[in-house]
């Protein structure tokens, strides 16, 4: 068997990065929370950039419902832990990887250990994992770790970067005091202020925020990984234009449209308030029993 050669394996990166920068990437650590639709392809994409150290967390196993979008989901991986499957795939790309594994997922108890020595955190958590996402984002800010989150929306991706010195995720999304449905609305509108994915949904009955379900696509997950990887690369190397929240961006491949958004004051921005109001109105029409009601949450519904 041929011996692994890091320099040869990632030599085709040189040109877009210098040899010195490639060596820096080899010694950087990226943390990824969740190895599902976006998290798994984040890991493999970043590994192929030559990043040499990872902290990865996931407690789930593969099932048939993952086949349409998750790179580790195959017949041979059914019922196997996602962490084990993706670890093996990443080590097959670079057997010299330094990987710290957290098979219990990210918890309040292991969060500090998960983020120890991390240069950038890439969010791969489930859309509705609000508690752990809020805890992780807050811990990253306290530890001066930048956060990259890329959401697969429609046939596209929406990307946000949270700088430790810029607007916090809490100030941008406004989660404090909200119930889960309101947090879902605020997260969705915060991720994609331009809402480029609207207008081409083929079956609206498949989308329900109250029931925590919606369609997905491998195309959007791949787009997420590409964009998030480049933002991560720029953060690690300290070059390029990285605009953090309240700046955001969304690209929709179906509509072939790109929009860069700016929402000063975050969730308090008048346009964000209007978008949340319109989403709530739509929810009341389609799922009246599950829609937010006055007094249901201490969160301001504006």
294 pLDDT band, cuts 50/70/90, is: very low
pTM score: 0.94
Q: What is the pLDDT of residues 233-251, one digit of tens each?
A: 999 999 999 999 999 999 9
Return the exposure string of 223-254: e unless at least 16 CB atoms fall within 10 Å of the residue's CB, then b: bbbbbbbbbbbbbbbeeeebebbbbbbbbbbe
Contact between residue 252 and residue 156 where contact means Cβ atoms under 8 Å apart: yes
Contact at 8 Å (CB) between 266 and 171? yes
pLDDT in tens, 59-109: 999 999 999 999 999 999 999 999 999 999 999 999 999 999 999 999 999
């Amino acid at each position: 068997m041929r011996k692994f050669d890091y320099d040869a394996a990632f030599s085709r990166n040189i040109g877009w990065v210098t040899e010195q920068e490639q060596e820096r990437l080899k010694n950087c650590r990226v943390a990824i929370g969740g190895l599902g639709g976006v998290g798994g392809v984040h890991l493999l994409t970043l590994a192929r950039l030559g990043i040499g150290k990872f902290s990865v967390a996931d407690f789930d196993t593969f099932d048939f419902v993952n086949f349409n979008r998750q790179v580790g989901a195959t017949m041979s991986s059914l019922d196997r832990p996602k962490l084990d499957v993706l670890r093996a795939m990443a080590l097959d790309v670079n057997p010299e990887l330094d990987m710290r594994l957290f098979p219990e997922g990210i918890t309040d108890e292991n969060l500090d250990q998960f983020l120890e020595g991390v240069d950038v955190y890439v969010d791969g958590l489930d859309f509705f994992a609000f508690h752990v996402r809020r805890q992780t984002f807050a811990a990253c800010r306290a530890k001066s770790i930048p956060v990259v989150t890329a959401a697969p929306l429609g046939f596209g991706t929406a990307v946000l970067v949270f700088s430790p010195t810029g607007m916090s995720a809490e100030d941008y999304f406004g989660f404090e005091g909200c119930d889960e449905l309101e947090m879902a609305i605020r997260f969705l509108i915060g991720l994609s202020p331009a809402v480029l994915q609207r207008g081409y949904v083929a079956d609206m009955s498949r989308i329900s925020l109250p029931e925590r379900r919606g369609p997905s696509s491998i195309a959007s997950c791949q787009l997420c990984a590409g964009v998030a990887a480049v933002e991560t690369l720029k953060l690690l190397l300290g070059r390029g234009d990285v605009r953090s929240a309240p700046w955001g961006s969304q690209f929709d491949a179906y509509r072939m449209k790109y929009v860069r958004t700016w929402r000063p004051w975050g969730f308090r921005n008048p346009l964000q308030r209007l978008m949340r109001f319109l989403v709530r109105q739509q929810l009341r029409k389609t799922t009246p029993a599950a829609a937010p009601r006055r007094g249901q949450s201490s969160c301001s519904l504006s």
